[in-house]
Structure 1
């Protein structure tokens, strides 16, 4: 029996100057979880570090460049899940951005249908319904804010 493939993914929990968290709506034509809200992020490319990947993914999805020095090198949350439908394990690392994005920051949804800045409670209660992302939302605000 062969070992199932492990797909490494990263997400970034980033706040704006007013303490709102940034979330993105997946494109309606996405292969998985079309139209669902989530923290910006995606897959780690071969040969890429996780911090490098989370910065790249955040920029690709929002159009915002980040200061690499402000992304914590260690994830604040990690989860492993097995997707029976595709026969793969997923490693899901959540990183925090130590800075604050400008309150008037313009977000350009490049790989998302929409981007909003909402309170962490709103993200959890109204938008984000992907189980592993809801779990990450419960990280104490002191760790991520």
Structure 2
């Protein structure tokens, strides 16, 4: 029932502050633990990408975000039954992100993006994000 046969959407937030982006280390599942990603998650039935991102960032980081432009293109996930879309975002208030569901959080400058091991789906997003971050620091 529901959306069988359709492609599931997963969304991520590239939260940017002072020319740096927030990266989150996975704590689970075992094959992903210790790898880095952008915060986010599955888009629920009837939910927009933006609404899903706002909800996921509250659940995972305890923060409210404002969602901006897309970063790069959709990236196929798994066996191609899902796609990842990442959006620029910024914190809406002074509340700092906390790792409620992640092992660790780091703010990465453009020249620090390669200091962590990204999940495969996030690698093309990191490449698309690099010039965007560089433009913040000019």
CA RMSD of aligned residues (A): 2.8
For 2:134 and 2:86, how far apart are their aligned partners in 1? 12
Aligned residues: 131
CA separation in 1, counterparts of 2:62 and 2:135? 21
- Structure 1: stretches of 5+ with no match in the other structure: none
Task: Work out the CA distance in 1 between the residues paired with 2:134 and 2:5.
Answer: 33
Aligned residue number for residue 10 of structure 1: 11
Q: CA offsets per residue over residues 25-44 of structure 1, 9 Å max, x none?
A: 111x3265222111111111
**TM-score normalized by the length of structure 2:** 0.77
3-state SS in 2 of match to 1:8: strand
Summarize deviations over 1:83-134 as a string: whole Å, max 9, x none.
24xxx5221111112x4677x85321111111111113312x1114223311
Q: What's the counterpart of residue 22 of structure 1?
A: 22
Q: Please say if residues 64 and 92 of structure 2, whose CA atoms lie closer than 8 Å, have aligned partners that are also in contact.
A: no
**Distance in structure 1 (CA, Å) of the matches to 2:36 and 2:111:** 14
1:43 aligned partner? 42
**Any conservation in 2 of the 1:13–1:95 contact (CA below 8 Å)?**
yes
Which structure 2 residue ranges, 5 or more long, are not aligned? none
Residues in 2 aligned to 1:106 and 1:100: alpha-carbon distance in whole angstroms: 8
Cα deviation, residue 137, structure 1 = 1.2
Q: CA deviation at 1:4?
A: 5.1
CA distance in 1, matches of 2:34, 2:6: 26
Higher strand share: 2
Find the aligned partners of 2:57 and 2:135 in 1 and give their Cα distance: 16
Match of 2:110 among 116, 120, 126: 120
What is the DSSP-based 3-state SS (H/G/I as helix, E as strand, rest coil) of the residue aligned with 2:73? Answer: strand
